[in-house]
Amino acid sequence: MSQFYRKYHPYISPNDPCPPIKTKVYSTPPNLFMGFQPPHLPQFSPMEALRAGTLWKAFYDPYYGPHEKKAGDT
């Protein structure tokens, strides 16, 4: 699991009519772990930055849906 994903185990009621989801996962943004933006961060090229949605590689956080394969997975 990536460093930007966290998981927790919610309370499961014995009276809940739905099948329980025992582990839930959520994404945290990369800027949450960087106190300030240091100088001379690596940058994307202008076209890559438009596709990524950010100029700085340290702040790039691609979203993958729960049923979507990540890049590089086979």
Tens digits of per-residue pLDDT, 1-57? 567 788 999 999 999 899 999 999 888 888 888 888 888 999 999 999 999 999 999
**Mean pLDDT of the region 61-68:** 73
pTM as predicted: 0.57
pLDDT confidence of residue 29: 84
Distance CA 44, CA 56 (A): 6
**Whether 4 contacts 28, CB under 8 Å:** yes
Whole-number Cα distances in Å, 47 to 5, 50, 53, 58: 27, 5, 10, 17
Strands 5-8 and 24-27: antiparallel
Tokens of 50: 């438009």
pLDDT confidence tier of residue 70, bands split at 50, 70 and 90:
low
pLDDT confidence of residue 55: 92
